[in-house]
Amino acid sequence: MSSLNKRYRNRRGSTNVLAFSMREGEFGDISPELLGDVIISLPTAQREAEEAGISLDNMISRLLIHGILHLVGFEHDRSEDAAREMEERSFELLAILD
């Protein structure tokens, strides 16, 4: 995960989730029904689940939702309002899954 994070985001170290859009770039219109790929680091998810006192399944659901929200255009790095909106949407979607 750290090599993907370095290669595609130019950030050192591992991360818990990466999202790769299939709707961007030169061939983004080939399969418009596909959003993209979400990659979850299981070791990181396990550690974060333990730290948060939640199950690994719950953490994976959270990370998957986070990645999918990125694929549909949410970006928490833009501003505090954007981060808050993304977090609120994440909780709404998690509630549907529970």
In this predicted structure, the answer to whether residue 91 has a pLDDT above a threshold of 90 is yes
For 92, the token pair is 């709404």
What residues have CB less than 8 Å from 56, skipping those under 6 apart? 42, 45, 46, 49
Q: What is the mean pLDDT of residues 11-24?
A: 92
The pLDDT value recorded for residue 77 is 86
Q: Where are the domains of the chain?
A: 2-97
Residue 41 has pLDDT above 90, yes or no: yes
Structure tokens at 32: 């418009």
pLDDT in tens, 59-78: 999 999 999 999 999 999 88
Measure the CA–CA gap between 5 and 13, rounded to whole angstroms.
Answer: 7
* CATH architecture of the region 2-97: 3-Layer(aba) Sandwich (3.40)
